[in-house]
Structure 1
């Protein structure tokens, strides 16, 4: 967990990272919340369309009912986050492979909010294209 611990302690820049960890979701949640961050979870299994991924992100991040599940709405709602947040996104590779351009755009929006106040860290866990995003070491 050293990479995540470095993000949570402010020693590593938040962003969107591939994350190789065998920690259970409950253990990740505990570590994140113990550090004073908010934890959110996305199960990406079966999500291969951008619209489905955007809906899943909106649900995980508890966006308001008027969230439009598009890139502009994602960007706008991310600005309204009130706490430093870690999103654990498992099974992300189906989307990355099915819609590489859509994946790049979604990651771009998430990455643009990473160092904003409050910070956002997105952990992509599970196998996937190694060149999609950097590995959190």
Structure 2
């Protein structure tokens, strides 16, 4: 869990990472909460861009008027009030089914993760599970 511990402690920059671990969700939730972060999980299979955006919106508790497009995703991610880890267990389904749509969503998630300020708390996405090759960094 050293990669996660470094991330939660601020020694590793927030971002979108591949994460290979067998850590139970309850243990992850405990670790994230102990560090003062929030945890959101996408565990339902979503293949289309619209399905993925809906799943992310539901996991992060976006408002009912969330527009399910990339601009709305960006705006809603910027409104997160606490440091947040988004655990995306089923990312591989989206990446295989619609690689172009998946890549666009990952770009928005990556851009938000890079934007940290007093008004924008840390945000990280962990892609856990099987999926195609990506150029994303592994979180050790």
Q: TM-score, normalized by length of structure 2?
A: 0.93
Q: CA contact under 8 A between 1:44 and 1:91: conserved in structure 2?
A: yes
2:134 match: 131
Structure 1 residue 92 and structure 2 residue 95: aligned? no
**Matching of residues 49-64 of structure 1 within 5 Å:** 49-64=48-63
Cα shift at 1:132:
4.6
Q: CA offsets per residue over residues 59-92 of structure 1, 9 Å max, x none?
A: 0000011101110000000010010000111021
Aligned length: 136
CA RMSD for the aligned pairs?
1.0
Point out where structure 2 has 5 or more consecutive residues left out of the alignment.
none
Cα shift at 1:130:
2.7
CA–CA distance in structure 2, aligned partners of residues 108 and 56 of structure 1: 17
Residue 40 of structure 1 aligns to a residue in which SS?
A: strand
Q: TM-score, normalized by length of structure 1?
A: 0.95
Cα shift at 1:97:
0.9
Moved over 6 A (4+): none
Residue 113 of structure 1 aligns to a residue in which SS?
A: helix
CA–CA distance in structure 2, aligned partners of residues 24 and 115 of structure 1: 27
Point out where structure 1 has 5 or more consecutive residues left out of the alignment.
none
Residue 103 of structure 2 aligns to a residue in which SS?
A: helix
CA–CA distance in structure 2, aligned partners of residues 68 and 7 of structure 1: 30
